């Protein structure tokens, strides 16, 4: 028997803790930040993939625990699903300075950890939050929709062949867009409703 999911995920955490080759490693140490590996059910049916930790997340080592996280909490509540029944992670596991967009080289460095998390947990559904994780996942599974924009694809259910099953991919807008605009929050709330059928 192979190692259980928790042990395999712990190994990823240990590797990232020692990831000195990352351009974000020194900034993490200097700022007394933590890497954010992921949180939730290690056997989840549904995995949420955000972009990168913000300041709150890096201070606590937990994904989506700041303003965007409060929106995400509300969205889970609106469909009566426990946030902890899902697994929540990001493509980039360390905070980029000033919350700037992730660089292609950072996506290249950190995405193999996300790939491994997907292979370990084997979720039936991947929900991407924002355009960076959407783009990465659509390219990874080589979907015909991979060049479409998030304004076209948000809230749609796409099918992909993972190594372990045919899975659903559901692109959503990033919850941070809803912090200041009520209209985006309504769109997110509406899109989130379809997750009831997948949770
Ligand atoms: N934004 C993200 O993309 N991820 C987090 O964990 C927090 C904010």
CA atoms within 13 A on the CB side of 97: 8
Q: What pLDDT is stored for residue 199 in this prediction?
A: 85
Tokens of 190: 């509406």
* Ligand 1 nearest atom to the CA of residue 129, by list position: 3
Mean of all residue pLDDT scores within the chain: 96
pLDDT band at 2 (very low <50, low <70, confident <90, very high): low
> Probe ligand 1: pick from 33, 34, 47, 54, max atoms within 8 Å of CB?
54
Tokens of 169: 């991919």
CATH number at residue 162: 3.40.470.10
**Ligand 1 pocket residue status of 96, Cβ below 6 Å:** no
pLDDT tens-digit series, residues 110-169: 999 999 999 999 999 999 999 999 999 999 999 999 999 999 999 999 999 999 999 999
Q: What single-letter DSSP state applies at residue 198?
A: T
Enclosing domain of residue 47: 5-197
pLDDT mean over 79-98: 97
Q: How many structural domains is the chain composed of?
A: 1
């Amino acid at each position: 028997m192979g190692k259980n999911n928790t042990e395999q995920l712990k190994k990823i955490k240990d590797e990232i803790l020692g990831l000195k080759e990352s351009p974000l490693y020194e900034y993490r140490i200097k700022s007394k930040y933590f890497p954010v590996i992921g949180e939730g059910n290690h056997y989840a049916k549904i995995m949420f993939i955000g972009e990168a930790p913000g300041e709150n997340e890096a201070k606590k080592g937990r994904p989506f625990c700041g303003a965007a996280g409060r929106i995400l909490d509300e969205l889970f509540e609106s469909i009566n699903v426990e946030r902890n029944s899902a697994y929540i992670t990001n493509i980039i596991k360390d905070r980029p300075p000033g919350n700037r967009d992730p660089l292609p080289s950072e996506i290249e460095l950190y995405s193999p950890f996300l790939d491994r998390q997907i292979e370990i947990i084997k979720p039936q559904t991947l929900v991407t939050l924002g355009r960076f994780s959407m783009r990465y996942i659509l390219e990874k599974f080589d979907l015909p929709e991979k060049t479409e924009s998030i304004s076209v694809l948000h809230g749609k259910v796409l099918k992909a062949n993972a190594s372990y099953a045919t899975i659903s991919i559901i692109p959503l807008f990033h919850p941070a867009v809803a912090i200041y605009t009520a209209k985006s929050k309504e769109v997110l709330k509406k899109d989130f409703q379809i997750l009831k059928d997948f949770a």
